[in-house]
Amino acid sequence: MKSEFLSHIKETMWSRRYAKRTIESYLYWIKAYIIFIGKIHPKDCHDKEVERFLSYLSNSLNLAPKSQALALNSVNYLYKHILSKPLSLDLRFNKSRVSPKLPTVLTTQEVKALLSVINTNHLLLCQLMYGSGLRLMEAVRLRVQDINFDYHCIEVWNGKGGKHRTVTLATELVTSLKAQISLVKSYYVLDIKNTDYSGVYLPFALARKYPSAATTLNWHYLFPSNRLSLDPEVNKLRRHHINETVIQKAVKTASRKSNITKNVTCHTLRHPFATHLLQRGADIRTVQEQLGHSDIRTTQIYTHVIERGANGVTSPLSDLT
């Protein structure tokens, strides 16, 4: 049976225009916290219980710092906005200090081999992840108007952290992208004739600002689902973007077919984008902007595969040869 308390939190966050994935993440950690405190109502607990919960995530579950921070944000939201009992600013808990994993970087030949066996229906999207350094969700959420053919770039809106950025577009993909837009247009023509069709999904602010945008071609997804579906939040018929799990499965299948022994995921295609740019002499600040990293230290992790390393250090063993 669904929890009325969690349902209330969901409805409150939805009314305050939180993103669907943010709501899902917060509910996950709030539920984990409630289970941790023995299903006592959170209003009867406070700082001490939250500190024990966060320390447990670090000590027993060895959780990554970002995951622990998300758990803290979730519980903090619960106490501040739902229970009106804000947590102390001086919480004392054991912070996670797990070292981040080094990225799996494919060589140019491995990327070529992988893309050569990708299902043709999903090839273009995978080429964009590698060719433009897009995250999976950034790629599947692209709209027709996000492709700028005049300046060979892609506008990424509301990426990770809600940030916007402009990334490069490989000229080799122009023909394929125009063909993809033609496919979107064929879906669009059929959908508009459907009297039950309510247009594409738009974020709340945009839907209010541009009330007719949902039924215009430019706002429709570049990689649409092959069937219409009901938007569960408003019960309206829409054509959503392709499900990201379809792309994840396609990449895994291609990885097996190409006999790549490395662990390959969709995000793996983003790693060689950064590394190969650096190998070609691109400035690290430029790569940082292309990837949308807030901190350049996140970008610097890709220099580990470059022959001389991030600081141009040559191994002394090389002097013996």
Instruction: Give the largest CA-CA distance in the chain.
Output: 77
Q: Is 267 a catalytic site residue?
A: yes
Contact 26, 9 (CB under 8 A): yes
* 3-class state of residue 224 by DSSP: strand
Q: Is 270 a catalytic site residue?
A: yes
Contact 260, 242 (CB under 8 A): no
Tokens of 85: 């009992």
* 3-class state of residue 228 by DSSP: coil
Locate all alpha helices (DSSP H) within 37-119, ordered by sequence. Answer: 47-59, 65-77, 108-116
Q: Is 256 a catalytic site residue?
A: no
Catalytic residue among 160, 185, 262, 304: 160
Q: Is 285 a catalytic site residue?
A: no
Catalytic residue among 10, 135, 141, 241: 135
Paired with 165 in beta bridges are: 156
In angstroms, the CA 248 to CA 119 distance is 12
Catalytic residue among 141, 270, 271, 276: 270
Contact 156, 290 (CB under 8 A): no
Q: Determine how β-strand 147-148 pairs with β-strand 229-231.
A: unpaired
Phi-psi region of 189 (alpha: psi -120 to 50; beta: other; left: phi over 0): alpha
Catalytic residue among 31, 52, 165, 267: 267
Q: Which amino acid is at 106?
A: L
Contact 46, 32 (CB under 8 A): no
In residues, how long is the chain?
A: 321
Q: Is 8 a catalytic site residue?
A: no
Owner of token pair 């019960």: 235
Q: Is 276 a catalytic site residue?
A: no
Q: Would you name the residues annotated as active-site residues?
A: 135, 160, 267, 270, 293, 302
